[in-house]
Structure 1
C-alpha cells in the first residue's frame, strides 16, 4: 500500500482543524471533550507528516560523495573494532528463516509500531505523551536536516558483497534511486532506529506492565535488522539515538523553564487575590 502523499496529509490536517474549531464552539459534551484533543493532535501529526513528505521532494537525490563517506564510516567503525555489517548479514543468510525474518521486520514493523505507540500513549498516558511526541519530532527533523550530507548505505558499497534480501525474498521498500518515499542516499542517520527508540524507550518509560520488556526489545532488534539487511551503518543508529536524547532533554528543559516562570506568577496572583479579599 503506497504512503499517503503530502497533499492527502494536508487535506487531513485541514479537515481535522475544521472539526476541532467546530467542536470548540459548540456546547460541551462528553463526546466532544474526548474528540477535541484527538482532532487537535491528529492535525498536528498530519501536518508534520505533510512537511516531511514535502522535504522528501527536495532536489537532493545526487550521489556526490555518498560512497566516499560510506567507506569512511566503514573504516572508522573498523578502527573501533566494531563487528562489520556484512559479518552480521553472513550470520543471517546462513539461516533462511532468519533472513526472511529480518527482511520482513525491516519492511513491515517500522511504521505500524510507531502508529500503535502514538495512539496508545495518547489514549493511556495523555500527560506524558507530548514529551515523547516532541522527541519524535526532534529525531525526525534531525534526520531531515542531516540527510543533506549524502551517505550511501552499506549494501551500496560493492566490495563489501551484500545480498539484497528484498530482491531474494520480496517485500522491497525501495525502488530505483531517487524514487519512492525514502531517500536511499540518506542512510545517515537511521530513521528506523530513531523511531524504534521512541517506541521502545517511550513504552518502557510510561508503562509498568511486564509487556514493556518485550516492547523494549524492538530497539535492539531494529538495530540488528538494519545492519543485517545492509540498509544502515552502526553509526547511523548512534546518531539517531543522540538526536532523540537531545530532543527529549531540550523538551524537558523547556518544560522546567516554563514551570519556573509560571510559579512566581501563580504566587503573585494568589497574593493579590489575598490582599483584595482582606481589603
Structure 2
C-alpha cells in the first residue's frame, strides 16, 4: 500500500512536470507548439531585427548610390513641401508683428539696427547676400561628403540628425507661416537683395513666384549651419578647422539678421529642431552621434565609431 501511494505521488509529480514542460512552446510532447508558419515568421522577424541592428551599428561605409538617391529624393520632397505651403499673407504678417513686439518687450529687438548698419557698407552686405544664397548648400553638402569619406561609421547617424531636423522644419513652415523682417509691413527693414540688385534669396526677384516667401520659422540656415559646425568641431583633427566649425553658425546668424531674412528668434527655432534631431538619432542608435569612444590603448583619432558600436557581446 505504501509503495502504491509513493508510486502514485511520483507519477502525479512526473505528469505535472511533463505538463509544465509541454506548456513551453517547442518543448515537451504536450502543450501548444507553434506551427511551421509561425516559427518561420518568428525567424524572419528576428533576422530582420538583427539586420537592422547590425546596419545601424556597422562602421562600414553606406552604399553611395543609396545615399545619393536618398539625398536627392529628400531635397526634392523638401522643396516640394516647402513651396507648396499656402502663402497666408495676413497670418504671416500677424506672426511677424507678434515676434517683433515680443522682442521689443524683452529688449532684444536688435535686427533693425544691425540691418541698417551693415547695409551702409556696400561690399559687406553684397558679400552677405551671396553668402546667404550659396554657402547654405555648399558647406552642408561638403560636410556630408567629408563625413562619408572620413567617418563612415558616424555618417548614417549624423545624416539622420540632419533629415529629422529638416522634417521638423517643414512642419513649422506649414503650421507657422512667418513673414521675414524684410517683407514685414511697417517694419522699416531693408531688403538688401532688392536694394543692391544681387541674388541672395529665393523670395526676392523672379524666384519669388515659385518660392514660399513665408517659410522663415524655423531658420534652416541656422539648423544646417549648426549641424555642420558641430560635426566639424567634434570630428576634425586640426584645431583651426574645429574653430572654423564653431565660427560658421555664428557668422550665419549675423548674415541672416543683417540681410533681414530672419528674426533671431527664427534661429532659436532652428536650433531647437536640431536638438530634437540629435535626440531622435540618440533614441535610434542608442548613443550620441559625436560621443567620444573610450577604448583603452586605441588611437582615438583613428576611430570612426563610438566604442558601443564596435563591442561584441560575449555569451556566458
Q: What TM-score do the two structures reach when normalised by structure 1?
A: 0.75
Aligned partner of 2:183 among 122, 138, 156: 156
* Partner secondary structure for residue 236 of structure 1: helix
Question: 2:101 is matched with which residue: 51, 75, 78?
Answer: 75
Matches of 2:188 and 2:281, distance apart in 1? 42
Structure-1 residue corresponding to 2:84: 58
* Partner SS state of residue 115, structure 1: helix
Asked if 1:166 is matched to 2:193, the reply is yes
Q: Please give the per-residue CA displacement for 1:202-244, whole angstroms capped at 9, x wherever unaligned.
A: 1111112121211321101111111111111111110110110
Structure 1 192/91 Cα, relative in aligned 2: closer, same or farther at 3 Å? same
SS of alignment partner, residue 104 of structure 1: helix
In the other structure, the counterpart of 1:241 is: 271
The aligned counterpart of 2:115 is: 89
Q: In structure 1, what is the Cα distance between the partners aligned to 2:142 and 2:207? A: 30
Pairing of 1:240-259 with structure 2 (within 5 A):
240-256=270-286
Q: Following superposition, which runs of at least 4 residues in structure 1 exceed 6 angstroms of deviation? A: none
Distance 1:256 1:215, change over 3 A: closer
**Residues 1:108 and 2:134 are matched in the alignment:** yes
Separation in 1, partners of 2:110, 2:169: 23
- Report Cα offsets for 1:132-174 as digits up to 9, x if no partner: 2111111111111111121110111232222221123312432
Label 1:56 to 1:93 Cα distance change in 2 as closer, same or farther (>3 A). Answer: closer
| Alignment-derived partner of residue 44 in structure 1 | 70
Bigger radius of gyration among the two = 2
- What root-mean-square deviation, in Å, do the aligned CA atoms of Structure 1 and Structure 2 show? 2.5
In the alignment, is the contact (CA less than 8 A) between 1:135 and 1:244 conserved in 2?
A: yes
Q: Any residues of structure 2 matched to 1:164-243 within 5 Å, and which? A: 164-169=191-196, 170-174=198-202, 175=205, 179-180=209-210, 182-210=211-239, 211-243=241-273
* 2:302 matched residue in structure 1: none
Deviation of residue 115 (structure 1)? 0.7
> How far apart, in 1, do the equivalents of 2:179 and 2:73 lie?
29
User: Counterpart of 2:152 in 1: which secondary structure?
Assistant: coil
* Superposed CA offset, 1:81-128 (max 9, x none): 214211111220222222122112111211111111110111111112
Gaps of 5+ in 2: 1-59, 288-305
Aligned residues, how many?
231
Where does the alignment leave 5 or more consecutive residues of structure 1 unmatched?
Answer: 1-32, 272-279
After superposition, the Cα gap between the structure-2 partners of 1:184 and 1:214, relative to the gap in structure 1 and judged at 3 Å, is: same
